Structure 1
Amino acid sequence: MNEEAAGAWWRYPLLWMVIGGPLAVVVASFVTFWLAWRSPDALVSEDYYREGIEINKTLAEKKMLPALAGRNHAMTPADDLPAPSPRKTAP
Structure 2
Amino acid sequence: MAQSAPGNNAQSAPVSNPPWWRLPIVWLVIGGPALVVVAGLTTVVIAVRNVDPVLDTSAGQVHSAKELPAHKARNHAADPTRAVLDAN
TM-score if structure 1 supplies the norm length?
0.48
TM-score if structure 2 supplies the norm length?
0.49
**More helix, by proportion:** 1
